[in-house]
Structure 1
């Protein structure tokens, strides 16, 4: 997988959204904010948004795979 240096604020946003989703409390606004942040980061970094989103979700949801 890609080796992307995510900023802490983006990781924190995705973590909060994932935790809210797990509790059944994720709002459309929160999801939209995360998507906007992912899109902005990907554009600034010159990366594909889908790759950025996939890697960010893997990092947050499966941190044990980080050493792979």
Structure 2
């Protein structure tokens, strides 16, 4: 069974990934703090959603990252 993801989960992961890229480009304390906050929000949402739908957290996380990192724009 495929895991149906919410737009919120996808957006939170995109925000986290963008913050990570900002750290890679300019690793300032502010950039690190923004990434930690964004990653924490994404992880908390994944954990809550996994519990809600009764799926293992790591499977939900993998599904979100696959959609965000390996999908063509507009998918």
Give the TM-score taking structure 1 as reference length: 0.81
Q: Which runs of 4+ in 1 moved over 4 A?
A: none
- Uncovered stretches (5+) of structure 1, i.e. residues with no partner: none
The answer (yes or no) to whether the contact 2:10–2:68 under 8 Å persists in 1 is yes
Please tell me the root mean square deviation across aligned C-alpha atoms, in Å: 1.8
The corresponding residue for 1:9 is 8
* Structure with max Cα Rg: 2
Q: Normalising by the residue count of structure 2, what TM-score does the alignment of the two structures yield?
A: 0.75
Give the gaps of 5 or more residues in structure 2: 24-30
